[in-house]
């Protein structure tokens, strides 16, 4: 039986998503009292949500000023991509033989939605693009047969979402198609190489725009 999210969870998720979507930009100041009033959440759950976001690196606490939306550093970006390369290349190699026909159909549908979004949106719907990209990568991670590895990948994707907010190629059906073709052929080496190229190209693109 699911329970309704607490006020703390509501505030946390709304602010987190606003940062990921670029609605709240690096350097913007958040005032605890204003946030509490906006969400009718009370002082304690609001502060707990803001402290959690600070702990996760989305915000910085500044005495007498409030909370500032942080900007990922170049080191943050390079370290996150390094981990994604290590983790996701390994995970897709493990997933190749574990993917079911239903999994492959889900990945195909994901790519169709990416193509439709890329063709229809000007500018691209960042929230929808991020959700589709996340779904594609996590579908593969969760079929690797190692729940701890999948959890590590999810954590890196969580960290990276706001780094990619200004990436004009956040959805990339062509690269995802290349990965899917290798998966359909059950070609472990090619699937790993396609994932490696995908992550490397995204890293280079993001570093060059930083």
Burial class from Cβ neighbours inside 10 Å (0-12, 13-18, 19+) for residue 23 reads middle
pLDDT at 1 over 60: no
pLDDT digits (tens, 9 = 90+) for 90-110: 999 999 999 999 999 999 999
Edge-to-edge, what's the strand order for the sheet holding 29-30? 29-30, 66-69, 59-62
pLDDT at 38 over 70: yes
pLDDT at 122 over 80: no
Mean pLDDT, residues 54-72 taken together: 90
- Helix/strand/coil (H/E/C) assignment for every residue in the chain: CCCCCCHHHHHHHHHHHHHHCCCCCCCCEECHHHHHHHHCCCHHHHHHHHHHHHHCCCEEEECCCEEEECCCCHHHHHHHHHHHHHHHHHHHHHHCCCCCHHHHHHHHHHHHHHHHHHHHCCCCCHHHHHHHHHHHHHHHHCCCCCHHHHHHHHHHHHHHHCCCCCCCCCCCHHHHHHHHHHHHCCCHHHHHHHHHHHHHHHHHHHHHHC
Q: What is the band of 42 on the pLDDT scale with cuts at 50, 70, 90? A: confident
Query: Which has the minimum average pLDDT: 23-32, 33-42, 119-128, 172-181?
Result: 119-128
pLDDT at 53 over 80: yes
pLDDT at 63 over 90: no
At residue 92, the pLDDT reads 98
pLDDT digits (tens, 9 = 90+) for 155-177: 999 888 888 877 777 777 999 99
Give the domains, in start order, of the chain with CATH numbers. Answer: 7-69 (1.10.10.10), 74-209 (1.20.120.530)
Burial class from Cβ neighbours inside 10 Å (0-12, 13-18, 19+) for residue 149 reads middle
At residue 124, the pLDDT reads 61
């Amino acid at each position: 039986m699911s329970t309704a999210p607490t006020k703390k969870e509501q505030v946390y998720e709304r602010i987190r998503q606003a940062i990921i979507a670029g609605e709240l930009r690096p350097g913007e100041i958040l005032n605890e009292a204003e946030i509490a009033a906006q969400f009718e959440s009370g002082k304690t759950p609001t502060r707990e949500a803001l402290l959690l976001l600070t702990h996760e690196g989305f915000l910085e606490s500044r005495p007498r000023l409030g909370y500032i939306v942080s900007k990922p550093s170049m080191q943050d970006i390079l370290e996150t991509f390094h981990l994604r390369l290590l983790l996701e290349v390994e995970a897709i190699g493990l997933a190749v033989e574990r993917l079911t026909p239903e999994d492959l159909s889900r990945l195909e549908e994901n790519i169709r939605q990416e193509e439709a979004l890329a063709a229809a949106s000007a500018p691209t719907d960042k929230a929808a693009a991020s959700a589709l990209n996340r779904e594609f990568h996590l579908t593969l991670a969760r079929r690797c047969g190692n729940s701890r590895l999948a959890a590590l990948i999810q954590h890196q994707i969580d960290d990276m979402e706001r780094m990619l907010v200004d990436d004009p190629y956040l959805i990339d059906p062509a690269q995802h198609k290349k990965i899917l073709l290798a998966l359909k052929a059950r070609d472990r080496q090619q699937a790993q190489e396609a994932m490696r190229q995908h992550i490397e190209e995204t890293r280079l693109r993001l570093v060059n725009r930083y």
